[in-house]
Structure 1
Amino acid sequence: MNFDYLEAFMYVVRFKSFHKAADALYLSQPSITARIKGLERELDTQLFARQGRGVTLTAKGKEFIPFAEQLIRTYQQSKQKLQTKTDKRRFTIGSNMITAQYVLPDFLHYFQELEPELEFDVRCGGNEQMLEGVSRNEIDIAFVRQQGRELEKLVIEPFLDNSIVLVVHPEHEFESNVRYTAHEIAKESIVFFECGGFNWNLVQKIFEAHNVIPSIKHRVGNMEVAKSLIVHRSGIGFLPKLAVKKELDRGELRSVDVSHLMNFNQQIEGVQSLTNPLNASIKRSLIKAAELFEQKVVYQSVI
């Protein structure tokens, strides 16, 4: 059976749209349509029924899903086995963009030291893209923003603390251990940062709860720009802990306690498939590498 047909089928199932599936696969919609028709010819049955602009699965289409998943999984596993040129194990890590930029460069040093015989691939993208990769057993473990929900056939575990912190320039008048009110913080010039890996709404609730409007001086969608503005005394800001870890360690930024205003705890979570559980040794190494990263251990041999 043609693998391209199966891949197109599963993408249409996920997106419920030929057009969206085509975009996700970087193909034209006619190409997706042709692949689905080819699969239907091979199976001699109709898999989808059009419904307005979208499509729905027929009863036969729903029955075919587990078979398609198994065929894709078998194909991927056999392809990987045949293409492996050494006896070393291969391991695929997925990561959202914030984790890839601010965690993986140091974390992977520790992980490689703990698993020297392991060859690993790293894939980066959006949270949903990474979850999809795990679901299809193309990614062994993905590090994504805290989901706050259960996901079918996926195991989700806390990986790293990525709580939101209020950061200021080291010489700012705010003291680190003083508990400032929402009104006092709102008077400061605030660097507003928001992207897919950061939930500004959680911060906004502080000011809404105290019926105060924050003084937003800058609105930026880039983490490095946000940090630079705070370092250069253009304001204060709420940023993910891992994104400012190095600046805090070097004393270029300083955090201010705001735990009394709201629970800002959020995690980077590790997600794996129920059907593709992690090797026990690899799991221990991932946990140890995370501990070394959080403890700010200077990179050196950890064996």
Structure 2
Amino acid sequence: MNMDNIEAFLYAFQLGSFNKAAEALYLTQPSITARIQSLERELEGPLFHRDGKQIALTERGKQFLPYAQKILHAYQEISSTLREQPLTEKSLTIGCTLLMSTHILPEILPIYRKKYPGVNIRILVGSSAYIMDKVLKKEADFGLVRTVSHPLIESFHLHTDTLHLVVPPQHPFRDIPRSKLTWDMVGKEPHIVLAHGTIEWFMVQRHYHRNQINPHIMMEVDNFEAAKKMVMRGVGISFLPELCIAEELANHLLFHISPQPAAQLTRKIDIICLRDGNRDLVEFFIHAVKALDRKTLMSKTI
């Protein structure tokens, strides 16, 4: 039921004339007539007796009058309350890993801010387990994490990330043909890996174990950005996520090598929320990622 039509009906009743209602609402008389006729069609009967310029409520109009007054009053009350609400009370809390905060959120949030400019956004950064805990405690509206599992959590696939082996541009491996570069040669190079016990650490260890290689691990760090900086400075080589290294590869600050057989090191990135959480919000972010041109988001992948 259209609020403008209800408002036209009430003004016409209170002022006793379609012309006066039009003047009060800064509309033309035909516009008022059209709105009331639309309402009459919806209610399947006339609301006014028309006698020249004089109007009077029909029985149907009298029955509808108190409901129309309540509807308009409720609408005005809701509108007033929402207008008076400070913008700082409209907030969104997103939990995410460091990689997500650095390489995915900067692409998505401008789209969200354009549609919802008055929302105050808070970002919580931590491990996937930490973010899941924040979502469970309702301290975050949703999270961007590696795949996690919990009976109260609902997960939606957002992106599949791949770890690639990278070296600094001046590294001699650049000049070795792929067919001649072996994992045995790579394993002897000093490796910079994510801290012991992380899923990425286990992925790299499992890969070398399958190839019967004991890699030379000379440094462990707690985040990929630190590992990337170390590789760029020539400290060692490392497996790094595609989202993390795209700009450096494009600017020739890092070089991707592919010993054979190719490593298959992938991990899923999910968006998580409570099962009774705001699904519309989650859907917005999922569609925002999918709507991005691959050259703006996924060009940051290899």
Deviation at 1:232, TM superposition (A): 2.2
Per-residue displacement from partner, 1:174-210 (whole Å, max 9, x unpaired)?
Answer: 3598254321211223223327765211111122122
- Matched with 2:104 is 103
Q: Is the 8 A contact 1:90 1:120 kept in 2?
A: yes
Per-residue displacement from partner, 1:133-186 (whole Å, max 9, x unpaired)?
Answer: 222333221011233xx4212111222333211111223333598254321211
The answer to whether residue 176 in structure 2 is matched with residue 163 in structure 1 is no
5 Å-filtered alignment, 1:225-244, equals: 225-244=226-245
In the aligned structure 2, how far is the partner of 1:108 from the partner of 1:206?
A: 35
5 Å-filtered alignment, 1:122-161, equals: 122-147=123-148, 150-161=149-160
Per-residue displacement from partner, 1:243-266 (whole Å, max 9, x unpaired)?
Answer: 323322332112223684442111
Q: Is the 8 A contact 1:195 1:221 kept in 2?
A: no
Which SS does the other structure have where 2:178 is aligned? coil
- Matched with 1:287 is 287
Q: Residues 220, 283 of structure 1: CA spacing in aligned structure 2 closer, same or farther, 3 A cutoff?
A: same
In the aligned structure 2, how far is the partner of 1:260 from the partner of 1:160?
A: 24
Q: Residues 228, 293 of structure 1: CA spacing in aligned structure 2 closer, same or farther, 3 A cutoff?
A: farther
The answer to whether residue 205 in structure 2 is matched with residue 204 in structure 1 is yes
In the aligned structure 2, how far is the partner of 1:84 from the partner of 1:197?
A: 44
Matched residue type, 1:131: M
Q: Residues 210, 226 of structure 1: CA spacing in aligned structure 2 closer, same or farther, 3 A cutoff?
A: same
The answer to whether residue 88 in structure 2 is matched with residue 91 in structure 1 is no
In the aligned structure 2, how far is the partner of 1:115 from the partner of 1:197?
A: 36
Deviation at 1:105, TM superposition (A): 3.5
- Matched with 1:67 is none
- Matched with 1:215 is 216
Q: Is the 8 A contact 1:186 1:214 kept in 2?
A: yes
In the aligned structure 2, how far is the partner of 1:216 from the partner of 1:143?
A: 29
Deviation at 1:114, TM superposition (A): 4.6
TM-score normalised by the chain length of structure 1: 0.59
1 or 2 for the larger relative contact order (CA 8 Å, sep ≥6)? 1
- Matched with 1:72 is none
Q: How many equivalent pairs are there?
A: 214
Q: Is the 8 A contact 2:168 2:231 kept in 1?
A: yes
RMSD, matched Cα? 3.4
TM-score normalised by the chain length of structure 2: 0.59
Name the % identity: 21
Matched residue type, 1:296: T
5 Å-filtered alignment, 1:1-303, equals: 85-86=86-87, 89-147=90-148, 150-175=149-174, 178=178, 180-194=181-195, 199-257=200-258, 260-279=261-280, 283-289=283-289, 292=292, 295-296=295-296
Q: Residues 248, 277 of structure 1: CA spacing in aligned structure 2 closer, same or farther, 3 A cutoff?
A: same
**Which segment drifts farther, 246-255 or 87-96?**
87-96
In the aligned structure 1, how far is the partner of 2:214 from the partner of 2:188?
A: 9
Matched residue type, 1:93: I
Per-residue displacement from partner, 1:99-124 (whole Å, max 9, x unpaired)?
Answer: 22443344423432354354433222
In the aligned structure 1, how far is the partner of 2:294 from the partner of 2:198?
A: 19
**Which segment drifts farther, 87-96 or 158-167?**
87-96
Deviation at 1:84, TM superposition (A): 5.2
In the aligned structure 2, how far is the partner of 1:177 from the partner of 1:114?
A: 49
Larger radius of gyration: 2
In the aligned structure 2, how far is the partner of 1:113 from the partner of 1:216?
A: 45
Q: Is the 8 A contact 2:155 2:270 kept in 1?
A: yes
Deviation at 1:237, TM superposition (A): 0.9
Q: Is the 8 A contact 2:94 2:124 kept in 1?
A: yes
Q: Is the 8 A contact 2:158 2:269 kept in 1?
A: yes
In the aligned structure 2, how far is the partner of 1:178 from the partner of 1:86?
A: 56
- Matched with 1:3 is none
In the aligned structure 1, how far is the partner of 2:112 from the partner of 2:118?
A: 11
Q: Is the 8 A contact 2:108 2:288 kept in 1?
A: no
More helix by percentage: 2
Long gaps (5+) in structure 1: 1-80, 299-303
